[in-house]
Structure 1
Amino acid sequence: MISIYILTYNEEVDIADCIESVIRLSDDVIIVDSFSSDKTIEIASRYPVQIVQHKFESHGQQRTWMLKTIPTKNQWVYILEADERMTPELFAECIAASQRQQAIGYYVAERVMFMGQWIRRSTQYPRYQMRLFDKDKVWFTDYGHTEREVCSGSVDFLKETYPHYTCSKGLSRWIEKHNRYSTDEAKETLRQLEKGAVSWQQLLWGKSEVERRRALKDLSLRIPLRPLVRWFYMYFILGGILDGKAGFAWCTLQAFYEYLILLKVEEFKTHPTLTMSVSNTIESKELNKLPQKLT
């Protein structure tokens, strides 16, 4: 069997459906909540799940803390976020993979659900995330506003995917949280630009989609007019135009997000003290309010 972690912060809209998608599959479901101020805990308490609250510091630290601190019934775990769903087909493949133990962790691809449909082309499908793994052999570090996994062993990929309802709480919340995300991404962009060259070997001959995508991101940081280039790439090269109205909206939102990052990079270059000022402000006022999801 596999234990399921569900990360939450103010997820009253999604938490019931998320729990419902796993409660009949796993014998061990653990809610890791960052002190939600809405009805998340009240709703989760109606189900036979374990609820643990921990102050949010960063995405990487939250995941590493829960892996090291919260006991689980099973050695193999799956990380689920509240606006995502587990499917019976994916869970069955997770069980089979954990029993084979040919790898210590497995990447799983998301299906982004937006405006009532799966937008496959605009979202660079398949985009993989480390979700299933042996809890003693994987941990996480911070990268920009999100996290990156560190694995002590070989990894592999699952065929089944999970649905991700990226805008389930409304467009206003999506814009609000990506405004915050763009600040961390701008600081990470500055760090990456200072580190040096793009890994062309990984970009052209990377062993996996994850390696190639990360090298492509490093390259994209150095491209002039990045927001326009990203919109063109997603809409025409990836085929977002075939995703209809939802595809156009998604590509435009992503270009807007890139533009926010670019503006904040320039702002930090012009006023370097703002980087520290923003960090202190987040730490003192907003640290425990940061949402748990990257779209």
Structure 2
Amino acid sequence: MSNNKLSLAVVILTYNEEKHIARAIQSVQSFASQIFVIDSGSKDKTVEIAQENGAEVIQHPFINYAKQLQWALDNAPITAQWVMRLDADEIIEADLAQEIHQTLPVLPFDTVGVCLKLKRIFMDKWIRHGGLYPLTLLRIWRYGQGRIEDRWMDEHIILSAGNTITLNGSFADHNLNDLTFFTDKHNKYATREAIDVLNQKYHLFPREKEVVDTRSTSTQAAIKRKVKEKIYNRMPFALSTFLYFLWRYIFRLGFLDGLPGLVYHFLQGYWYRFLVGAKIMELEKAINGMTDKQQILEEISRLTGHKLTDK
């Protein structure tokens, strides 16, 4: 691989990511000309480690992932032609790094987005069944051509125009924390997703227009969202969660991922989805009888701890 850097800026959001941040930065150092770490007040050594590894660290208060990333795109001193979104616990693998380095400089001007294939590593095992691999996600785009959806969960990059391609190499989601961290994180995710589902149902605040094409992340991810919102979310959650786990673990061969796979598919594919449904039920009970949107938002804000209003 050439030692020349690409005109590409990597943006990484962090909060207490000292276990992961050096690994993430080092996985893109061979090709990225700029690396920005947008930190939201880490209390560990995240900032120090990021700076030691050559990243520019910018502090900004965190509301949710979408608002934080969009703030970074609007305010970080990005001078590169391309931008990459990377989570702190993700790694660009060597084959993908080489492919990015070789492909980006020769792309035609009307190609504005690049989708990458995500692999999940859980308990040090690649979870490759259950319909989880490959999941293609739009993670690289021409600067100024993409924005992040303003959602509380499952936010995608939307491109203003142009075509996308998908590279063959993979990047890995490999979090090194324990199951307590995993379940706590997914408990918080469940609250955020419940907010999005209630917004979809009651139109509480502005929401992105649905787009299912190659300009809304990947076609695969966009279609999966459409199925979830148009079919899955309209079923009783006790039934939908069971059917989803059955589909994923049995019919999509999740059982082939062994014991770590059973833990992952059960927790992420059943427990988490059941928890989302239960939280929606709890919140709907709390706002039952309310008709004023402002009052509903204030009550959901009070119950979830997320500020959904300006008051």
TM-score, normalization by structure 1:
0.85
Once the two structures are overlaid, the 10-residue window that deviates more, 223-232 or 97-106, is 97-106
> Which residue of 284, 288, 298 maps to 1:276?
298
Once the two structures are TM-superposed, the CA of residue 215 in structure 1 deviates from its matched residue by 1.6
Q: Percent of counterpart pairs with the same letter?
A: 29
Compared with structure 1, are the counterparts of its residues 50 and 123 closer, same or farther at alpha carbon in structure 2 (3 Å cutoff)? farther
Q: Which residue of 1 aligns with 2:147?
A: 139
Compared with structure 1, are the counterparts of its residues 153 and 147 closer, same or farther at alpha carbon in structure 2 (3 Å cutoff)? same
**Deviation sequence 1:177-225 (CA, Å, 0-9, x none):** 2111111211222233457xxxxx969xx99312321122112112331
> Which residue of 156, 159, 172 maps to 2:168?
159
Q: Which residue of 2 aligns with 1:99?
A: 106
User: Match of 1:124, SS?
Assistant: coil
> Which residue of 198, 202, 209 maps to 1:190?
198
Once the two structures are overlaid, the 10-residue window that deviates more, 67-76 or 233-242, is 67-76
Partners of 1:239 and 1:46 in 2: how far apart?
A: 43
The answer to whether the 8 Å contact 1:25/1:88 transfers is no
Once the two structures are TM-superposed, the CA of residue 155 in structure 1 deviates from its matched residue by 3.6
What is the one-letter code of the residue matched to 2:193? E
Q: Which residue of 1 aligns with 2:207?
A: none
Aligned residues: 276
Compared with structure 1, are the counterparts of its residues 174 and 155 closer, same or farther at alpha carbon in structure 2 (3 Å cutoff)? farther
Once the two structures are TM-superposed, the CA of residue 123 in structure 1 deviates from its matched residue by 5.2
1:217 aligns with 2:228: yes
The answer to whether the 8 Å contact 1:111/1:120 transfers is yes
Q: Which residue of 2 aligns with 1:247?
A: 261
Partners of 2:253 and 2:43 in 1: how far apart?
A: 40
The answer to whether the 8 Å contact 2:15/2:46 transfers is yes
**Deviation sequence 1:49-72 (CA, Å, 0-9, x none):** 211111112211111111121122
Compute the RMSD of aligned alpha carbons. 2.4
**Deviation sequence 1:253-294 (CA, Å, 0-9, x none):** 02111111111111112111786334246347xxxxxxxxxx
Q: Which residue of 2 aligns with 1:238?
A: 252
Partners of 1:172 and 1:45 in 2: how far apart?
A: 29
The answer to whether the 8 Å contact 2:64/2:152 transfers is no
Once the two structures are overlaid, the 10-residue window that deviates more, 108-117 or 136-145, is 136-145
1:128 aligns with 2:142: no
After TM superposition, list the pairs within 5 Å mapping 1:196-207 onto structure 2. Answer: none
What is the one-letter code of the residue matched to 1:152? S
Partners of 1:57 and 1:155 in 2: how far apart?
A: 31
Once the two structures are TM-superposed, the CA of residue 237 in structure 1 deviates from its matched residue by 1.5
User: Match of 1:32, SS?
Assistant: strand
Q: Which residue of 1 aligns with 2:71?
A: 65
> Which residue of 21, 32, 37 maps to 2:27?
21
Compared with structure 1, are the counterparts of its residues 247 and 266 closer, same or farther at alpha carbon in structure 2 (3 Å cutoff)? same
Compared with structure 1, are the counterparts of its residues 98 and 228 closer, same or farther at alpha carbon in structure 2 (3 Å cutoff)? farther
Runs of 4+ in 1 over 4 A off after TM superposition: none
What is the one-letter code of the residue matched to 1:31? V
What is the one-letter code of the residue matched to 2:117? A
Q: Which runs of 5+ in 2 are unaligned?
A: 1-5, 204-210, 288-294
TM-score, normalization by structure 2:
0.81
> Which residue of 87, 91, 94 maps to 1:88?
94
User: Match of 1:104, SS?
Assistant: strand
> Which residue of 55, 60, 63 maps to 1:54?
60
Partners of 1:247 and 1:155 in 2: how far apart?
A: 35
1:177 aligns with 2:185: yes
Partners of 2:105 and 2:112 in 1: how far apart?
A: 8
